[in-house]
Amino acid sequence: MHARTRHPAGSGGPKKPHRWIAHVDLDAFYASCEQRDEPDYRGRPVVVGALPGGRGVVAAASYEAREFGIHSAMPTSEACRRCPDAVYLRPDMEKYRQVSREVFAVLAQITPLVEKASIDEAYLDVSGLEKLFGPPAAIGREIKNRIRAATALTASVGIGPNRLIAKLGSEHRKPDGLTVVEPDEVLQWLAPMPVTNLRGVGKQTRKRFDRLGISTVEELRDVAPTTLQKALGPKAAHSFSRQARGLASAEIVPDRARKSISKERTFDTDIDADRVLLDQLRELAAGVARVARREKLTGQVVTLKIRYAGFETHTRQQKLAMPTHDERVMLQTAWSLYANGDLPRKPVRLIGIGLSDWADDDTVQGDLFDEVEEQPADENLLRTIDRVTERFGTGKLQLGIRSKRDD
């Protein structure tokens, strides 16, 4: 895709400038850092994560290692089976943080509108930079060249009218890729794309798409909204329909940080049975915990939300001694706030649970790389539950507490 300047027929002048959003994604970041610093590793499969012989997982794999089917989150034992001659390295956490700081310093020189998505990726609003660097393709090349000059690493860049298209663009030609998608090219560009490329397509959604005979974005667009809602539910159907049409936010918020994770359930009829409330709270806590673990977050404040008839709403909070992403801790805390607090004892219309007050970045980063160590039994159990849920859906495997009031 190449950026072009067009003028509407009969306008007599240029059209109003539109937003340009860029997504920058460093290629195989951890493995590439190791290959950069050790010439003997270049051109060889490199696996960063747990060392062979442990029960940990792969944190990152070089593109040479990916040719053997090795990928992040794969057990290291399986990676060794596929490629015993690969270079296996423990993560050098401080090195990756330092390189990340260098990359973000480069991006800040291009535009102040930089939103960090992770240690190795970011969204940028590059609207209006044409006067400085040229068209969007030139802006993308400038970003890539500056990163390479500063760090000797490659990055893939996608540029489009919103965050979704930019993200899909950066994935389009990895590694070292550059893709620019004009606003009036979005639908055509998306049409042949596998529907699995869209955001939020897990194993269960993929199965539902298969049953509907949907394999491409174009086929997704052709499905009647009622059919899609029946298969996926209203919220997911709406999200995928928007994505299939290339619609998404173009907002870039520097230093954006998720302040909390919460989930709630509104009942069709008010509930006064503790067993039902506890079961629902258990499910909600599990959902919040899965998101927290996926985003490498641990929180110290648990919030309970209760709503009665007439929109009478109460919230209660408790600060934990240690940050957590364990649903059992969250559930125990929230249920104690409900059962032992001063809340009215009457039928409940809505119940919800939230987690906030994140641990600092260093702690979270430590948690991230602890995944590649041999984990305690509890941590392994939590990750097993996440994998089962991803594969078979919610409710198949859960942890929780049992209250005397639930007997």
Catalytic residues: 121
- How many angstroms separate the CA atoms of 206 and 214, rounded? 9
Say if CB 384 and CB 377 are below 8 A apart: no
- How many angstroms separate the CA atoms of 323 and 364, rounded? 10
Amino acid at 78: E
- How many angstroms separate the CA atoms of 357 and 246, rounded? 34
Say if CB 17 and CB 336 are below 8 A apart: no
State whether residue 304 is helix, strand or coil.
Answer: strand
Question: Does an H or E element contain 284, and which?
Answer: helix 274-294
- How many angstroms separate the CA atoms of 339 and 76, rounded? 44
Work out the end-to-end distance of the chain between its first and last CA atoms, rounded to an integer number of angstroms. Answer: 63
Tokens of 289: 């915990």
Q: Tell how strand 58-61 and strand 21-26 pair up.
A: unpaired
Cis peptide before 175 (omega within 30 of 0): yes
Centroid of chain to Cα 235: 18
